[in-house]
Chain A
């Protein structure tokens, strides 16, 4: 194949498109390999536990914190909108449905991209440029099964769990502002939540969380794993760029996938 510099205008336009399509296909294969290796690699349990500690437990505090503030601001905003219609009793539905359907899965995924996804990309990227991944392969340890599969597994477990924690803490946050601060009836708040949330909403939120888990882990690990093939930079700079694009691509994909999923689930 000719390089970009020695061909015409059309060729220069086509080349980046092909590169993007190639990268998408590559990423899909990367994800499949990662998923298959879950069942093929030994010691997956121990490595998953390690990643669960990093992705799940260490993110717990920040998820609780932003869940609380998110619920509190929803309570505040919802109250001042609903009070105009004299229907502040509906605050419970507004807060819980917003959290369970949309904000819970999306904000958890974006937060985890920042906390765990970036470190995945950087860690694997440094291993790549210091030839540690090649060392693994030389020692006949499957690098995908050793590095990527445990992370996918741990994400698939911790994303839905953290989303659930986010939802519940957010509802408590809405309770703090709505009931304790602004004085809505406590019974009305919780009754509205229980009567308006259905199993479809809860399931939809968990489906989103699972899809986001796959997307974020695949994109972040892929960016780190392919640091050495980056065209814009080499060495340590490539690790930095890989981390940046991992976070940016993940966030864009989360929001785009959220739209697509919502239109299917509704």
Chain B
């Protein structure tokens, strides 16, 4: 067992670990440092098409991502609860609007945030109350075709 072999194995393992790291952290968006992210939740009447990991954008700039989608535990309501993790505190006011948009005509769904005008700033863990559900292209076309607009 000479030192060339040991170095060779070291090179191989290091190269492999770099690739694993790239796949996991860069591509898989693994949360390495469970960071000082800023978490908010929002209740939507429908989140059809939205997936965990989808982008959260403000003015088209990615500012975070969706970390969890679940049904409202309250049996009297029919709501989807979406938890989003923002990269930093954006000083959003409590009347900010979260809407689910589609990129392009048939692209992925994402959450778009727009600021409100209130003086009350949301804290981490708060809920955004003003929301717009995802727009279904088929329903829209149906409305247009049958004169519902």
Contacts and interface: CB of A to CB of B under 8 A. Distances in A.
Contact of A50 (B1, B11, B27, B53): B1
A195 to B, nearest CB: 7
B13 A161 contact: yes
B34 interface: no
Nearest to A168: B19
Interface centre among B13, B28, B30, B55 (most CB of A within 10 A): B28
A229 interface: no
B29 A161 contact: no
A202 B23 contact: yes
Contacts of A161: 12-13, 15-17, 19-20
B9 A53 contact: yes
A194 B108 CA distance: 13
Contacts of A198: 28-29, 53
Interface in A139-188: 157-158, 160-162, 164-165, 167-168
Contacts of A202: 23-24, 27-28
Contact of A157 (B1, B13, B26, B30): B13
A238 B102 CA distance: 63
A57 B28 contact: no
A164 B16 contact: yes
Contacts of B17: 161
Contact of B12 (A60, A193, A199, A205): A60
B16 A158 contact: yes
B27 A164 contact: no
Contacts, number: 77
Contacts of A57: 5, 8-9, 11-12
A193 B1 contact: no
Given A49-B1, A193-B27, A202-B27, A164 B12 contact: no
A229 to B, nearest CB: 33
B15 A165 contact: yes
A240 interface: no
Main secondary structure of the interface of A (DSSP, over half): helix
Contacts of A50: 1, 5
A165 B18 CA distance: 8
B27 A52 contact: no
A100 B12 CA distance: 20
A201 interface: yes
Contacts of A49: 1, 5-6, 9
A97 B47 CA distance: 25
B19 A164 contact: yes
Given A56-B9, A164-B16, 8 more contacts: A49-B5, A50-B5, A56-B13, A57-B5, A57-B9, A198-B53, A202-B24, A203-B28
9 contacts: A50-B5, A56-B9, A56-B16, A57-B8, A100-B23, A161-B13, A168-B22, A197-B23, A202-B23
Interface of B: 1, 5-6, 8-9, 11-13, 15-17, 19-20, 22-24, 26-30, 53, 55, 108
6 closest A-B pairs by beta carbon, nearest first, are: A161-B16, A164-B19, A199-B28, A202-B28, A197-B27, A57-B12
